[in-house]
Structure 1
Amino acid sequence: MTDTATLTDQLGSASLAAEARGVGEARAAEQPAITISGVTKQYRGASAPVLENIDLSIAPGEFVCLLGASGCGKSTLLNLIAGLDAPTAGRIDVPRDGAAVMFQESALMPWLTARRNVELALRLRGVRRAERSAAASELLATVGLEDAAGRRPHELSGGMRQRVALARALAQNRSVLLMDEPFAALDAITRDLLHDELESVWRRTGRTIVFVTHNVREAARLGQRIVLLAPRPGRIAAEWRLPDVDERRADDPRIDEVAREITARLREAIRDGR
């Protein structure tokens, strides 16, 4: 059975709690951006499913973190949402235009500049050639890389390459953005900076974001809602809904409070899954 934890006491005042309830009630009336109904995934020849009976509804503009230990099916679920694989049972409904996906590796074309990498996504979307350069520059400015538009990937740091990959994903102009541990290979300082960038982009663009991570603190820093997957087979073990605030800084002590609670529940989920 899924446990639901409310972290209003840790994260804010009664006014924030009321705001969070208001947001939740408004979203309940909206058509979900993503609906996952009874989804199970089992690979041919496997003795047990990777995912079992997953039910999840994600509202438009919501930032949801899928959290769990390695092997719990987080990336498998993201691939199913992206349409890169099909469930064995159940149904997934996403917007008609699908979703943009950002992976752990930036996967930039090494012979193209940052601007040209973003322009490639625009070209595949059908944007006219005369408009692509300006649109790419605007997207790079969105992720704080307007001064690096003419540099190739080998001339960029790991964090800068991931920013270009984010701009390229935004260039697809889809309402849903799926992110599979995009900052896992980066150092802690760069990761914190990119958390700030991503939050800013999310608030400005209104994208629905599903963010996969095994980092508890990252989930507490970014997510409006955190969905914990337990392993063997992957299933939803708990959820946390966090009241929305203008921003959560990396050094905010409330993040540590939330992370401690989630860590304790994650340990239980791992132990129960053995």
Structure 2
Amino acid sequence: MSTILDMNHVYKDFYSLDEERQILKDINFSVEEGEILVLLGPSGCGKSTILNIISGLLEPTQGSVDTHGKKIGYMFQKDHLFEWRTIMKNITLGLEIQHKLTNEAQEEIKRLLEIYDLWDFRNNFPRELSGGMKQRVALIRTLALNPDILLLDESFSGLDYQTRLIVTDDIYKIIKNENKTAILVTHDISEAISLADTVAVLSHRPTTIQSVHKITLTLEGDKTPLTARLAPEFKDYFDLFWKELQNDEERI
């Protein structure tokens, strides 16, 4: 597989009238095409800042990001669906703004809605959908722009536990079925292990990468986030990541 993204010696400082705060310190990682990389770290450590730099919403203070000319799609914590637009109109909004709502694009949206069980709800409004369905709509809205790399910023954190498990399974299958590369951020250890091909463990601020782990699980059949939790190696990874995060906490 080829490298699709490189983050090279990235630093990020924020300034106010009273102080200078270093948020990121020498962040380095690469992502291969088709890989799901999960950035696992404590709340407030700068995970979202990394995604904002990759997307171009923020400039690094130092260092660079090379996306090799690939297109980025960003799925935020909240679904940000407009209540006055139907599901179909929400999905087509980005294409309308870019004047790219072609017949081909509309056929692709129809394909996605049919495959992922949302076609019958295309004329509904967001208030009529469950939280899990709204997250699927938000992802399809992002996929409609045909990005090469998906950024997901704790996109399941607002859901109750049972819905969250179901939605992570759905989102994982969509990412893999559509052959997308993805970078997700979370502070949930179990979620990181169940979703990731690779986990990068982050420290508290100023944030560094403590370690990087390829996730290898023994499974019967294909991997999904739900079946991953049954793998014998799951507990070992959980204990490892827990210790790394706790050791970092004790160093503060």
Please say whether Structure 1 and Structure 2 have the same fold, judged by a TM-score greater than 0.5: yes
Deviates further, 93-102 or 50-59: 93-102
Gaps of 5+ in 1: 1-26
* Paired residues, number: 244
Unmatched 5+ residue regions in structure 2? none
Query: Residue 229 of structure 1 corresponds to which residue in structure 2?
Result: 202
Question: Partner letter of residue 182 of structure 1?
Answer: S
Shift of 1:109: 1.5
Task: Give the distance between the partners of 2:71 and 2:143, measured in 1 at CA.
Answer: 13
Partner of 2:43: helix, strand, or coil? coil
1:153 is matched with which residue?
126
- Rounded to whole Å, the distance in 1 between the matches of 2:186 and 2:138 is 17
> Cα–Cα, structure 1 residues 181 and 162, in superposed 2: closer, same or farther, change >3 Å?
same
The letter for the 1-side match of 2:166 is L
What's the offset of the Cα at 1:95?
A: 3.9
Match of 2:138 among 156, 161, 165: 165
Shift of 1:160: 1.0
CA distance in 1, matches of 2:40, 2:15: 26
Residue of structure 1 in register with 2:248 after alignment: 269
What SS does structure 2 have at the residue aligned with 1:53? Answer: strand
Distance, in Å, in 2 between the alignment partners of 1:43 and 1:110 is: 34
In the superposition, relative to structure 1, how do residues 235 and 142 fare at CA in structure 2: closer, same or farther (>3 Å)?
Answer: farther
The one-letter code sitting in structure 1 at the alignment partner of 2:28 is D
Secondary structure of 1:43's counterpart equals strand
Q: 2:27 aligns with which of 54, 61, 66?
A: 54
Equivalent residue number for residue 192 of structure 2? 219
Give the alignment of 1:1-274 within 5 angstroms.
27=1, 30=2, 32-45=3-16, 46-243=19-216, 246-250=222-226, 251-254=229-232, 255-272=234-251, 274=252
Relative to structure 1, is the Cα distance of residues 60 and 97 closer, same or farther in structure 2, using a 3 angstrom cutoff? closer
Change (3 A) 1:75 1:94: same
Whichever residue aligns with residue 256 of structure 1, its letter is: K
Partners of 1:115 and 1:140 within 8 A in 2: no
1:70-98, CA deviations, whole angstroms, 9 ceiling, x for partnerless residues? 12110001100010000000011114253
- More divergent stretch after superposition (232-241 vs 263-272): 263-272
**Cα offset, 1:68, TM superposition:** 0.4
| Gap change, CA 1:147 and 1:42, over 3 Å in 2 | same
Task: Select the structure that is richer in helix.
Answer: 1
Asked if structure 2 preserves the Cα contact closer than 8 Å seen for 1:137 and 1:149, the reply is no
Q: CA deviation at 1:125?
A: 4.6
Render the CA deviation track for 1:79-132: whole Å, top value 9, x for unaligned.
000100000000111142531000110001211111111122333454345445
Contact 1:63 1:209 in 2 (8 A): yes
Asked whether the equivalents of residues 70 and 149 of structure 2 are also in contact (C-alpha less than 8 Å), the reply is no
CA distance in 2, matches of 1:249, 1:56: 24
Letter in 2 for 1:41: K
Q: Which whole-Å CA distance do the structure 2 matches of 1:130 and 1:249 have between them?
A: 35
Higher alpha-carbon deviation: 118-127 or 258-267: 118-127
3-state SS in 2 of match to 1:50? strand
Conserved? CA contact 1:103–1:182, under 8 Å: yes
Residues 35 and 57 in structure 1, CA contact (< 8 A), matched pair in contact too: yes
